[in-house]
Amino acid sequence: MDENMHILKQGIVIAIDGPAGTGKSSVTRLLAERLGFIHIDTGALYRAIAYLAHGQNDGNNVLEPKASQLAKTAHLEFKLNPKLVPVNRIFANGSDVTDFIRTPLISMLASQVSSYSQVRAALLGLQRRLGCQGNSILEGRDIGTVIFPDADLKFFLTASSFERARRRFLELKENGGDAPPLSELKKQIQKRDLQDSSRAVAPLKKAQDALTVNTTKMTLDEVVSTLENRIKKYFSKSTCK
C-alpha cells in the first residue's frame, strides 16, 4: 500500500472499463502496483475460455454450447509467476495460458464468447469473488455497470480507433509476434468495438457515474497519474476531523 495513502476503508473496488486498446491493462497493472491493490484483468478470463474452446475446435468460430460448458467447468485462476513478474499470469485448468491468449484470433473469439449470456453468467461470480479478495482494481467492459455497480470509483477509458490500433501494433511487435498492418488492426478493433457494445447482455457501456478519460494524446504515465491522483483525492476525504 502506498504509504502516502491513508485509507482506513478495506475492500475497496475500483472499476476501469473501456474498449480494446485504450491501455486499460497497462494502466491497471501500474496503478495496482503503485497503490498495492490486486489487479484483475477480466478480459483474460474470456480470452482463456476462447483459447480452450478453440483448442477443441477446427474452425474459427466458437459456438455457445461449447463456450458455456467450458465457462461453467474450467478452473481459471490468476497467479503471480515470480520468474515472470510483473505480469499476472492466467492459468486455465492448471496450465499457464498467458502467452497464447493475446493473438488477433483469440481477441476476436473472446469477443464472440463474451456475447453469450451463459458464459457471462458463469464468470460473474468468479469476478466478484476475485474482486472481493482485498482492495482491487478490475478492468473490463462491464465492471462498473454489472459486476460491481457499487464500485467505490469508476473510470471509463477511451482513445481514437487509430491510436488504439497503433498501440496494439506496437504491443504485438514488442511481444515478438507478427503484427497485421495498421489498417487491418484498426478494422479488427472497430469490429470488436461494435460486437462488444451492441451485444444484448452486459454490453460495453460507460457507467453513469464513471469518469471518462480520453487517453488519445496522453502517455501511459500521464493516464496512470491522472487516475492515481483522483483515487488518492477521493480516499483522502475524511468525515472525521
Residues lying near ligand DC in the complex (CB under 6 A) are found at: 20, 42-43, 46-47, 110-111, 114, 140-143, 192, 196
The burial of 167, by beta-carbon neighbours within 10 Å (0-12 exposed, 13-18 middle, 19 or more buried), is given as: buried
Q: Based on CB atoms, which residue is closest to ligand DC, 204 or 218?
A: 204
Nearer to ligand DC, 92 or 143 (CB): 143
Burial of 98 (0-12, 13-18, 19+ CB in 10 A): buried
Residue with cell 457501456: 205
Q: Closest distance between ligand DC and the C-beta of residue 84, in Å?
A: 18
Cβ 35 to ligand DC, closest distance in Å?
A: 20
Question: What is the Cα–Cα distance from 172 to 180, expressed in whole angstroms?
Answer: 9
Instruction: Report in angstroms how near the CB of residue 20 gets to ligand DC at its nearest.
Output: 4
Give whichever of 212 and 229 is closer to ligand DC, judged by the CB atom.
212
Structure letter (DSSP) for residue 99: G
Q: At what angle do helices 117-131 and 64-73 cross, to 10 degrees?
A: 20
In the complex with ligand DC, the residue whose CB is nearer, 141 or 186, is: 141
Sheet strands (E) in 76-196:
76-80, 88-92, 95-96, 136-140, 153-158
* 68: number of Cβ within 10 Å: 20
Task: Provide the minimum distance between the beta carbon of 236 and ligand DC in the complex, in angstroms, as a whole number.
Answer: 29
- Using the minimum distance from each CB to ligand DC, give the nearer residue, 146 or 235: 146
Shortest distance, position 117 Cβ to ligand DC, whole Å: 11
